[in-house]
Structure 1
């Protein structure tokens, strides 16, 4: 199983259709420090250290951004040093300006004080090097980026699109590379990626991929299908640089016990006391109803939840269906709202993981189990559906010492709340580069098309945005 990156951007009113309510999005400010770098002053040696560090910025995927020193006086050097330090310490871009909602905690180091201390010690280079993430995954991304940047800049695709389309049953020398890409995208098992013949197993994988991207699922590998499978070295380098930037947005020491949800891969990772103890599939918001990048804790488990249908779903998808539909789905009108009663047909399933945020986003169970068998699981109205949610609830209840209370709540058959003794932080992240079993970075697809805005802000030319095309399968959140 491929692991998530473990080292792991206009503030505006936002509404997750069918799952959230509008809310203002604020920002965080860092208190200014009384320390000033100018008190220490720049020397020939520390200036050389600054120039050397900036000259090596490609190891951070920042070589498309200008950080050249604009002058030789102390003020100009300080301004450049603080700008580059900020890029390393918390990102060269502001996710709150790049995305409608971004509330994942970010680093807030006192860079002016840090620079002042580094100038006094004559260790500006060491200080700058310490600001970026120090984990092995970040360093591997840097190495992969450097390797790709050394190759010719021509955006040559890995798989030639010259020649005829590949039809089922045909043999073609391009098929081994195509099979490898299908494995990377999770459409094909590694064991089936053999030979140069277009087998029925590969045909089925290609059909699933074509359906996910809004193509005719005919199994014929033509220019459109190759457009999904093909990624040039330029595209790969851009994706890696974007994901390094996303890692710089994150706290260097995240909570040891937490839940990370990768929206791009639609997978959940549960960390307990610093160790990854569980990973499972999730269903997240479909394109145009994207699950936002939130930092928000789970504070209680809800057994046998009811569901108050949001106005957007009520007006767009239930209005006009009549009393028969409501009765069949255990729904009824209460105080001007449609409420779905507890039970196996409830759109929240049998457990809800209640979270504290202004967008009504939460984790929950679902009766729509087949969605977990899909490769592209961006299918919800914005909330996060958890595979085997009852099993996950048992795990959390056990770890938090409330298993008896949870069992009692389940047994009531009614909506019952079990407060956790301590909140569990949840981070909704978006990472399009994962690591394979050998620890090597692999570039995945960008289902929301969110890489473009980060890449452009980092100075890269626009890449190919192949967004997943899905329609929600049910009215659930």
Structure 2
């Protein structure tokens, strides 16, 4: 995929408004004005109509299942206060999300928007443009608009569970010719199991069979390449399922700061992808391996403050007790490990589970980016294979890039040459956001639904008024002892 496509896609998992041809963010345009009191806000009949009309259009934001009552009548203090509270509730849903991710997940520390909505509301009412103010609170980028269009189109088609790829009752076997093959091929391509060049004809060919086998293995299904009801369930989503996913994706974007740091690293945990932004432009994109479903990588906002050359690895108690205890001295020696002060420590070298570089981050969860000797995992489609940390493809190349950009390349080369654990402090911290987005934009700019490896869409969907969806969950069995 071209870098320019990635930059403005939801695969990037960023709200990169300046880079994606967006309008200016007006969520904070009044924050420098003196703060006002809720009792200073005055309403009239025209403003109430604008509020009702705006709430009536909330399906454009996937919020049509959330109830927003308009209480109160203008003209008296009590009525104005009730109307203000109603407006602020809807404004907050647009500006920050209708749900609180810190309450939906055990860990969520990504910076969220925090506009002065009361001041903004007061100014909008004075100017008579409440509708325009509300419309400008949601993300203004092309990706959000694409999600909105897709959601509205799917919503119009109703909630019938009709499948895009119908189940004819008989499994589709290798070598068979079937009119469903092009649709199956498109979904395999969208999910990265199949290269676009394999799209041809109605025959279920060997290349497709291998792709289906990989998918089956990832989801704990017998990898026989036969497309039965279970494989179709993974490939297929009803219009209602798709609409639900689009609404969740919009909500996740509303959680994000509209003006993120122009130099930063964004990791889409759901897609196993990293984007490096430099001065507001995409400088690099690469694959990552993240936590397996039993050891999820949390949604964090946490900066890199130093590079570690030739790192040692002090094995966490959880890994030590579950996967190393009882393996004996031969195992430790073979993996360059030794006991030190009651901990198992792996010494620097090519077998070290952190590889040859660690990107140290500031957080309370012992989560960081690092290299890995298990390079083969980057070839997997579903790259949720670690114990929670983020393994970076060609991490040495990425460290070289960061060191050069931050002006510490000489120090980095000297640190590497020591062969011992050596720290190179960055002159400024680089913000990192570990995010989760199960919708990406295709090369045509249209949303494509990917897997939900952790099932993390469910609590968001419930908060938006959608019913739960039980489907196949990603299963991994190839994680190693590394973090």
Q: TM-score range by the shorter chain?
A: over 0.9
1:157 aligns with 2:163: yes
Aligned match for 2:382, one of 364, 376, 379 = 376
- Distance verdict in 2 for CA 1:404–1:348, change over 3 Å: same
Q: Aligned with 1:106: secondary structure?
A: coil
Match of 1:14 in 2: none
TM superposition shift of 1:372: 0.4
Task: Note the 1:356-435 alignment, pairs <5 A.
Answer: 356-435=362-441
Aligned match for 2:315, one of 297, 309, 312 = 309
Structure 1 residue runs of 5 or longer lacking an equivalent are 9-29
Aligned match for 1:133, one of 139, 148, 156 = 139
Give the number of equivalent residue pairs: 454
Answer with 252-261 or 125-134: which moved more: 125-134
Q: Give yes or no for contact 2:12–2:275 (8 Å, CA) kept in 1.
A: no
Q: Give yes or no for contact 2:304–2:360 (8 Å, CA) kept in 1.
A: yes
C-alpha distance in structure 2 between counterparts of 1:389 and 1:155, whole Å:
44
State the Cα deviation string for residues 157-207 of structure 1 (Å, max 9, x = none).
Answer: 101012310111111111110010000110001110211111110000000
TM superposition shift of 1:38: 3.3
TM superposition shift of 1:115: 1.2
Q: Give yes or no for contact 1:37–1:113 (8 Å, CA) kept in 2.
A: no
State the Cα deviation string for residues 337-361 of structure 1 (Å, max 9, x = none).
Answer: 0000000000000000000000010
Match of 2:291 in 1: 285
Match of 2:69 in 1: 68
Aligned match for 1:201, one of 186, 199, 207 = 207
State the Cα deviation string for residues 30-58 of structure 1 (Å, max 9, x = none).
Answer: 9xx84134323110111111011101011
Q: Give yes or no for contact 2:244–2:461 (8 Å, CA) kept in 1.
A: yes
Q: Give yes or no for contact 2:265–2:430 (8 Å, CA) kept in 1.
A: yes
Q: Give yes or no for contact 2:41–2:80 (8 Å, CA) kept in 1.
A: no
Match of 1:244 in 2: 250
What stretches of structure 1 move > 6 A for 4+ residues in a row? none
C-alpha distance in structure 2 between counterparts of 1:36 and 1:433, whole Å:
40
C-alpha distance in structure 1 between counterparts of 2:117 and 2:445, whole Å:
32
Aligned match for 1:227, one of 226, 230, 233 = 233
TM-score by length of 1: 0.93
Match of 1:447 in 2: 453
Answer with 222-231 or 189-198: which moved more: 189-198
Q: Give yes or no for contact 1:446–1:465 (8 Å, CA) kept in 2.
A: no
C-alpha distance in structure 2 between counterparts of 1:286 and 1:266, whole Å:
11
Q: Give yes or no for contact 1:291–1:382 (8 Å, CA) kept in 2.
A: yes
Match of 2:25 in 1: none
C-alpha distance in structure 2 between counterparts of 1:107 and 1:7, whole Å:
13
Q: Aligned with 1:295: secondary structure?
A: coil
Match of 1:49 in 2: 50
1:344 aligns with 2:372: no
Q: Aligned with 2:431: secondary structure?
A: strand
C-alpha distance in structure 1 between counterparts of 2:41 and 2:331, whole Å:
74
TM superposition shift of 1:6: 5.0
Q: Aligned with 2:327: secondary structure?
A: coil
Structure 2 residue runs of 5 or longer lacking an equivalent are 16-30, 74-78
Match of 1:167 in 2: 173
Match of 1:119 in 2: 125
Match of 1:22 in 2: none
TM-score by length of 2: 0.92
Q: Aligned with 1:448: secondary structure?
A: coil
C-alpha distance in structure 1 between counterparts of 2:178 and 2:72, whole Å:
58
